[in-house]
A and B are shown apart, each in its own frame.
Chain A
Amino acid sequence: MTTNISSDSQLISSYMKGNEEAFAILLERHKSRVFTTIQLIVKDRYTSEDLFQEVMIKAVNTIKGGKYKEEGKFLPWILRIAHNLAIDHFRKEKRYPTIVMEDGSNIFNCMDFSEECAETLQVTKETNKLVRQLIQQLPDNQKEVLVMRHFMQMSFKEIAEATGVSINTALGRMRYALINLRKKIKYHIAYDQNIYPK
């Protein structure tokens, strides 16, 4: 029997031997972090789901194809795949932009709004939604560092290498991102209280 307390390495090893339950646990364990990273980059929920599926299918193919190198870094590996796919998509979208609604859905998806998605959106907390929207308003270079450090858990050294800047620049961008984000949150809270005074 596979337990939830197994390490990622143990689960992958078990999955490589054909234990599908081990993969289900890995997926459950990391789905939020991977999906959040994707959606913060591409914005549109439906595209994020497609990309998430693509990321996980790549992982399945790599592991089951015997090409996965176990170095105890499953999450950084899967997050890197997710980030690369999301960035590729984001760059294409910049050339062919789609209209994204306030809730993160593509405007064309409104015509076929699934019950499941509406339910998921209802469950989403207001603060979660607000912060997510405010992250999208940050300059691209600040948002990039913020996603890499906070959601992908890359170190500033790794971020500096990945983005071709110095560690100090990466740190500075993170600092501005946090300061900007806090200012925006404060502004929104003050604005809401003016409209709906307590």
Chain B
Amino acid sequence: MIKTFTQNDLISFIYNETSREKKEEIEKALLCDIQLQEEINKLKEAVKSLDEVVLNPSNKVINNILKYSESISLHPSKP
């Protein structure tokens, strides 16, 4: 089978930025190409690990921002 997509196409594919035609082409190839399946799985695994990175600011900072907002009065722009 002749592959008509590049490594970069796979990145577009996992981030849902590929064209419909390319997407269908890759999905079709995935059904029978084990090497491609492994490659996609490796990339998806790395993407999944990124989803676990969730950081939050402290409550103190959040409260400071909310207090600041309350202290500022509205100045709507003139039409």
Q: Indicate whether A101 reaches chain B with its CB closer than 8 angstroms.
A: no
Q: Indicate whether A116 reaches chain B with its CB closer than 8 angstroms.
A: yes
By size class, the interface of chain B is 35 or more
Q: Are A150 and B56 in contact (CB under 8 A)?
A: no
A residues apposed to B, CB below 8 Å: 16, 18, 20, 23-24, 27-28, 31-32, 35-36, 39-40, 48-49, 52-53, 56-57, 60-61, 64-67, 114, 116-117, 120, 124-125, 127-128, 131-132, 135, 146, 149-151, 155-156, 168, 171-172, 174-175, 178-179, 181-182, 185
A57-B65, A64-B73, A66-B76 are known contacts. Are A31 and B49 too (CB-CB below 8 A)? no
A-side contacts of B47, CB under 8 Å: 150, 178
Q: Indicate whether B61 reaches chain A with its CB closer than 8 angstroms.
A: yes
Beyond A27-B66, A156-B17, 4 additional pairs, beta carbon < 8 A: A53-B64, A151-B50, A179-B46, A181-B50
Query: Which of chain B's residues 1-20 have a Cβ closer than 8 Å to chain A?
Result: 7-8, 10-12, 15, 17
What number of A-B contacts does a CB cutoff of 8 Å give?
122
